[in-house]
Chains A and B, each alone.
Chain A
Amino acid sequence: MTAIEAPATAGAPPGVGRAPAARRRRRGPAASQWAAVGFAAPLLVYLILFYAYPLARNIDLSVHDYTIRAFVQGNAEFVGFEKYVEVFTSSTFPTALWNTAVFTVVSIVFQYAIGLALAVFFRSGFQLSGVLRAMFLVPWLLPLIVSASTWAWMLNSDNGIVNSVLAAFGAEQINWLTSPDTALVSVIIANIWLGIPFNLVILYSGLQNIPGEVYEAASLDGAGPWKQFWSITFPLLRPVSAITILLGLIYTLKVVDVIWIMTTGGPGDASTTFAIWSYREAFGTGQPDFSPAAAVGNLLILIALVFGFLHLQLQRRQEDS
């Protein structure tokens, strides 16, 4: 193996004698391989200690019956897949599945559509467009708890600005966060707002890679802006769009902070997603129930991995082409 990889690695300068080159080839790569391992060692140790081990503990949690007492004493009973069955048959399961799907899909559709529209708008170039585009990043930098609590206050039933504006148009008071009909909508609105900057940035950089000649040709052919968008921009942007949407999916599935701070998944289970469910079982109540929480968490990992592999496939295909 080493010998085969060596020439590419060592890249011995031409003109060096055959024998010394051979010797260097054998010693060099071996030495540099040791160096490589040495430099990667902190990461390898880190991944084992702080990724593999917690994840293994998490699986361990999900196949035992960990109550808080068993947690302290360390004598939890092994129950196999019982906790998973419990999760699947729980009355929360269908609600959480539906909410996760709605939260994710609706968030992404709007984030993407608005992000793309803004990217095209900013790409057209006008005075101050750079500054304004930079300002669009602000929601992205704010700590999530900051944005979430701001939205919570804006959507407050009695004193929120949103209801106040709606009232000016004659609408009735909406109990955004406390009514089961609107809780999910509320957290989706906040989450769309949070995701727009990310979509804008990535799609804008995608737009920059579309050569201007294509548009010139199209406008010579008499295609208007609308036609140009659908026949040039959108198709050429497809690879970037795919990556943006997949990353959005992976990110949105994980969201805890925003929902937890605004509604804690309530009222009832009205805005409970898988991530919230897991968080609530483990840390959200006075009675931590780690085993089902871990089971839900592992389920979430599986879903995320499916999209993750899709993402890798897409990336690989893009690199190949």
Chain B
Amino acid sequence: MTSLTTSPRPMRRAGGGLQRKPWWKTALGVVFTVLMLFPVYWMVNVSLTRTSDLRADPPHWFPWDPTFEGYTAVFGQQLPALGTSLLVGLGCVVLTVAIAAPAGYALALLNLRGGRTLNFLLLVAQMIPAVVMAMGFYAVYNSLGLLNTVGGLIVADSTVAVPFGVLLYTAFMSGIPRELLQAARVDGAGPWRTFRSIVLPVSRNSTLTVALFAFLWAWSDFIFASTLNRNGELIPITLGIYNYIGNNTTQWNAIMATAVVASVPATILLVVAQRYVAAGVTAGAVKD
């Protein structure tokens, strides 16, 4: 009885009745959300404002007379940068998953000796500021001739995602029922086959989560791009925006248009992939 009634209770407490949901709370929630998302709205608004209206006082609250000149500029000039960002993001995803998934398997299911130490090192690794990593990478890349290369940027960007990925995979894979692996072993599968045909498919949602974050982090990266790739022929979109700000501080509509375009993949990815992340974690692998 108790367990049945617990979950709806808070709602009843708050609303004074399960059916009568407090509309004023919804209204308040909408107000909060509007306030929170105002800067995002403002970015879109400015991106659609005519250059001549940018300095209007008071500013135009709504783009009644929208212009796409900013967006024309973006697609005229920033298309290669968008491509580079996509390439870096995807490269980072592949590298991260390729390193993190087997490592998670070793840590969670193969009882790697020194696993606790490794786990600890990964936690520490996440705390190292990116500025410091950037300097180290700069020194290393300088001697290896890897400055201003897409490959070098992919590797540097992946340092943010790899420790996270390993920890996430380890946490998830530890929960994979041992019977599943036992069954595979009885069928004569070695560690590699077990990994490839059982552990990896079962961990699909983890892979999606890791890939999602690896992509988003690489896509959003500014520090590594602005240090290791500053003179590159192929610059990512974040650096594109940054250079834009430096070169032409008058055309904020074009800058904001670039910002809007740079935000689109992140937004799409989260809207689409949220479902996967939220989808039952290990559901379906073993019935009981």
Contacts and interface: CB of A to CB of B under 8 A. Distances in A.
A122 B30 CA distance: 11
A57 B112 contact: no
A143 B132 contact: no
Contacts of A86: none
A308 B131 contact: no
A149 interface: yes
B18 to A, nearest CB: 10
A279 B103 contact: no
Given A61-B139, A212-B6, A261-B245, 19 more contacts: A1-B113, A9-B111, A32-B191, A33-B111, A39-B191, A40-B118, A43-B102, A43-B162, A51-B133, A55-B136, A121-B28, A124-B11, A124-B25, A136-B36, A139-B40, A153-B252, A256-B130, A257-B223, A312-B120
Contacts of B138: 282-283, 290
B46 A153 contact: yes
Given A122-B29, A159-B54, A215-B10, A138 B40 contact: yes
A125 B11 contact: yes
Interface stretch (A89-97, A101-109, A299-307): A299-307
Given A54-B139, A305-B124, A279 B33 contact: no
Nearest to B195: A39
Interface stretch (B62-70, B75-83, B214-222, B279-287): B214-222
Contacts of A158: 55
Given A61-B135, A142-B263, A257-B222, A40 B107 contact: yes
Contacts of B30: 128, 132
Interface string B242-283: 100100000010011001001100110010001000000000
A58 B135 contact: yes
Contacts of A231: none
A211 B6 contact: yes
Nearest to A2: B113
Given A58-B139, A123-B10, A256-B131, A143 B106 contact: no
B59 A55 contact: no
B72 interface: no
Given A158-B55, A308-B123, A145 B241 contact: yes
B180 interface: no
A213 B9 CA distance: 8
Given A55-B128, A55-B136, A125-B15, A283 B182 contact: no
A293 B54 CA distance: 39
B136 A125 contact: no
Contacts of A245: none
Given A124-B10, A283-B226, A146 B166 contact: no
Given A142-B40, A154-B39, A50 B29 contact: no
A43 B129 contact: no
B58 A275 contact: no
Interface in B141-173: 142-143, 155-156, 158-159, 162, 166
A279 B226 CA distance: 10
Contacts of B46: 150, 153
B16 to A, nearest CB: 12
Contacts of A305: 124, 127
A53 to B, nearest CB: 6
B110 A36 contact: yes
Contacts of A26: none
A282 B124 contact: no
Contact of B29 (A57, A121, A143, A146): A121
A54 B29 contact: no
B238 interface: yes
Given A42-B99, A43-B166, A50-B155, A145 B195 contact: no
Interface of A: 1, 5, 8-9, 11, 13, 32-33, 35-40, 42-43, 46-47, 50-51, 53-58, 60-61, 71, 74, 118, 121-129, 132, 134-139, 141-147, 149-154, 158-159, 161, 164, 167-168, 193, 196, 211-213, 215-216, 219, 250, 253-254, 256-257, 261, 275, 278-279, 282-283, 290, 293-294, 297-298, 300-301, 304-305, 307-308, 311-312
A156 B174 CA distance: 51
Contacts of B22: 126
Which 5 A-B pairs give the minimum distances between C-beta atoms? A54-B136, A143-B220, A36-B110, A43-B103, A39-B106
A161 B156 CA distance: 37
Contact of B242 (A123, A145, A150, A211): A145
B43 interface: yes
A212 B10 contact: yes
Nearest to B227: A283
Contacts of A219: 13
B129 A125 contact: no
A150 B42 contact: yes
Contacts of B123: 308, 311-312
A127 B11 CA distance: 11
A235 to B, nearest CB: 17
A64 B187 CA distance: 59
Interface string B16-35: 00000111011011101100
Nearest to A307: B127
Nearest to A218: B13
A126 B26 contact: yes
